[in-house]
């Protein structure tokens, strides 16, 4: 792949995940601060997974078959950026919910579409995708750091120039806002996300042209129907179910970890940097992902990613007095994401036909961003505030053992039941009756 194209795709991924990383980690504390009740919070949080479900049936079909992907990306980020920007200035439930829903409906499909734009320009996805996708990892990390300076109690910081720079910076880093002031200032994260989205809307116009792909001759006109039909193959169906479990576990991390970190003594303005440690580790894991896939194979690589969740949640559960270890274990997030979710995206690109590939990405995003998040957002608040809470005290040990156990179950299921066919040159599966048809192979061969 040409270095200029690779750079553009890297920037595309950087901005794509900067947008999401700017607002997601802190929203779980921001919504209660706006006095939204648990039902209202769940409705707002589930706008994202609901949009992922809608994308599977509409947006990805539209991008696959009818519209140049980069233009669809530009329009989506224009509308999504304006709506997320406006969230900084509303505090009533219906306005907040409506704007969040609009943002998610336009943003969520772009996660699949950016993958499709990237894969369309690659000659060897296993070798090249990790490096390009690393841009998204760095974008998420970059989004974690502005809150360190935004969520500061400036009344406690000496005027710049009255003390040395090192002393001034130390005062800034140590003067995080607390309580209601912290939650009120969180609204600026939506301004940050909106600005990044509008920038990506403009940048999308210079991305490699990715034209629509009409249905293959004799193929299904609805791309999502053809993508769904591939679930008849056991190895695809098993991976789809494991993806649901792992996505639920993954989203429990975002639901609960912010509150957990504050509970063990992490300052409020340092929560997002601590949670971004995993993305820093993800840079390394993305860089070596291609090598790991070729040496370990699909199944082993994915199992390692899933078990990373079990290890991290076990540390949260049993070592709550070890603050340094709790911070350090977040490094496993890089393995959890790259070795499972990024691997799934590469697997889809290699095993699904070209004309339904965006919809196939959407099929798995249906679980990763849709059903997994939906389950976590409905069950997560209830578990932390009702099931495992007595008075004002949350039993974090018992709480975190739930996702740790689910991760082990998913790993065992993958080990026992996931058996993809041996990869052939330039091979991708296509569903025809009960057969698997590969790219470059006719249905009559």
Domain of 254: which CATH number?
Answer: 1.20.1250.20
Q: Residue 339 has what DSSP assignment?
A: I
Q: What is the pLDDT of residue 47?
A: 92
**Residue 172 belongs to some domain of the structure:** no
Within 8 A by CB and 6+ apart from 201, the residues are 73, 74, 75, 76, 77, 78, 81
CA dist., res. 16 & res. 306, Å (int): 24
Q: What is the pLDDT of residue 233?
A: 83
Q: Which of 105, 87, 1, 75 is nearest to 36 (CA)?
A: 87
**Residue 181 belongs to some domain of the structure:** no
**Residue 173 belongs to some domain of the structure:** no
CA dist., res. 235 & res. 60, Å (int): 23
Q: What is the pLDDT of residue 400?
A: 95
Q: What is the pLDDT of residue 92?
A: 93
Within 8 A by CB and 6+ apart from 62, the residues are 72
Count of the separate structural domains present in the chain? 1
Within 8 A by CB and 6+ apart from 384, the residues are 255, 256, 259, 394, 399
**Residue 68 belongs to some domain of the structure:** yes
Residue 197 CB-density burial (10 A; 0-12 exposed, 13-18 middle, 19+ buried): buried
Q: What is the pLDDT of residue 443?
A: 33
Within 8 A by CB and 6+ apart from 235, the residues are 418, 419, 420, 421
Q: What is the pLDDT of residue 2?
A: 73
Which residue shows structure tokens 């740790």? 404
Reduced to 3 states, what is the DSSP secondary structure of residue 435? strand
pTM of the predicted model as reported, rounded to 2 decimal places: 0.70
**Residue 178 belongs to some domain of the structure:** no
**Residue 77 belongs to some domain of the structure:** yes
**Residue 168 belongs to some domain of the structure:** no
CA dist., res. 353 & res. 133, Å (int): 21
Range of the domain at 402: 3-151+186-436
10-residue stretch averages of pLDDT, the chain, 445 residues long: 83 94 84 84 88 71 68 93 95 95 92 83 75 85 79 76 77 70 81 95 90 58 70 88 95 88 82 78 80 88 95 94 90 88 85 69 80 87 86 91 96 93 53 42 34
**Residue 74 belongs to some domain of the structure:** yes
């Amino acid at each position: 792949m040409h270095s200029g194209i690779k750079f553009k795709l890297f920037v595309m991924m950087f901005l794509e995940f900067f947008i999401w990383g700017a607002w997601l980690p802190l929203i779980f504390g921001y919504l209660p601060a706006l006095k939204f009740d648990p039902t209202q919070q769940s409705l707002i949080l589930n706008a994202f997974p609901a949009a992922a479900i809608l994308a599977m049936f509409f947006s990805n079909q539209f991008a696959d078959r009818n519209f140049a992907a980069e233009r669809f990306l530009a329009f989506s980020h224009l509308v999504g950026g304006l709506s997320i920007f406006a969230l900084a200035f509303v505090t009533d439930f219906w306005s907040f919910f409506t704007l969040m829903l609009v943002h998610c409906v336009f943003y969520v499909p772009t996660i699949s579409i950016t993958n499709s734009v990237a894969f369309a320009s690659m000659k060897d996805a296993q070798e090249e995708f990790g490096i390009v996708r690393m841009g998204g990892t760095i974008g998420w990390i970059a989004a974690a750091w502005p809150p360190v300076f935004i969520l500061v109690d400036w009344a406690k910081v000496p005027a710049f120039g009255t003390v040395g720079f090192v002393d001034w910076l130390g005062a800034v880093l140590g003067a995080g806002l607390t309580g209601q002031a912290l939650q009120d200032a969180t609204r600026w994260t939506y301004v940050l996300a909106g600005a990044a989205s509008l920038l990506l809307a403009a940048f999308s116009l210079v991305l490699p042209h990715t034209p629509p792909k009409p249905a293959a001759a004799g193929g299904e006109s609805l791309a999502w129907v053809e993508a769904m039909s591939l679930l008849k193959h056991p190895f695809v169906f098993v991976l789809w179910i494991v993806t649901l479990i792992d996505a639920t576990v993954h989203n429990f991390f975002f639901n609960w970890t912010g509150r957990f970190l504050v509970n063990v003594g992490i300052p409020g303005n340092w929560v997002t940097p601590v949670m971004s440690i995993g993305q820093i580790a993800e840079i390394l894991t993305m860089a070596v992902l291609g090598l790991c896939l070729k040496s370990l194979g699909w199944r082993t690589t994915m199992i390692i990613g899933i078990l990373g969740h079990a290890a991290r949640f076990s540390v949260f559960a049993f070592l709550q007095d070890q603050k340094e270890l709790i911070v350090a274990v977040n490094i496993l997030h890089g393995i959890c994401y790259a070795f499972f979710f990024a691997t799934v995206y590469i697997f889809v690109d290699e095993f699904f036909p070209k004309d339904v590939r965006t919809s196939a990405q959407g099929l798995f995003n249906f679980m990763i961003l849709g059903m997994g998040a939906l389950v976590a957002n409905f069950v997560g608040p209830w578990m932390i505030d009702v099931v495992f809470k007595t008075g004002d005290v949350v039993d974090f040990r018992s709480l975190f053992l739930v996702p740790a156990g689910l991760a082990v179950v998913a790993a065992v299921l993958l080990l026992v039941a996931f058996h993809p066919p041996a990869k052939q040159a330039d091979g991708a599966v296509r569903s025809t009756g009960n057969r698997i048809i590969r790219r470059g192979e006719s249905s009559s061969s």
